[in-house]
Amino acid sequence: MEKEQKQNTEKNNVDENEKSNTTSDHLKIDNENIEEVVDKSPEEKIIELEDKLARTFAEMENQRRRFEKEKDEAYEYGGFAFAKEALNLIDNLERSKQILLNDESLKNSEALKKTLEHLDIINKDLISVFSKNNIKPIESINKKLDPNFHQAMMEIEDETKEPGTIIQEIQRGFTIKERLLRPSLVGVSKKPVKDNEKVEENKENLNDK
């Protein structure tokens, strides 16, 4: 009997110690949290809130500017793809004109003359419509090659022109406002190669082989 009472007493003591330790741990945690809160003064809290607000407003302003820019670009260049496809009309008119001019059976005929006049009128009307919508042809002939607007497709010997001058326009290029719609495909001049230079060049080519 005494043994059982002793065991119960020891068990109660252990339980009391565990409760005391648990309470002590909670107090430590609460004290740490209190210290963290107490560490910041009202002024510091206000400064921290002001900093967070400033960052939030700055982010909102950046998003607003980005949306405005995207909206403006969509308004200005929304018809970019359509305009690029519409250029095929001008290309097809030019091809039709060349086919008619090369047709021997139509040469010097009144029908050819009237047809070409109508094609020219249609072409001018298209250019006028494009121009009103800020789509303009790129000037090429007798201009220096500009990689931003021209794409050189061939070099042509011409001693009367400075090397790199555009002397042939294969396909006309266009811009829409300040943006390139498509480059002009052109032929540029180069210095004629003298006979002795050609011989040397051929020799070098043979040696390379």
Contact 168, 185 (CB under 8 A): no
> How far is it, in rounded angstroms, from Cα 4 to Cα 10?
10
Query: Radius of gyration of the chain from Cα atoms?
Result: 42
pLDDT tens digits for range 116-156: 999 999 999 999 999 988 889 999 999 999 999 999 999 99
Q: Give this prediction's pTM.
A: 0.56
pLDDT tens digits for range 30-62: 444 444 445 678 888 888 888 888 888 888 888
> How far is it, in rounded angstroms, from Cα 97 to Cα 86?
18
Separation of first and last alpha carbons in the chain? 115
CB-CB neighbours of 135 under 10 Å? 21
For the segment 87-115, the average pLDDT, to the nearest whole number, is: 89
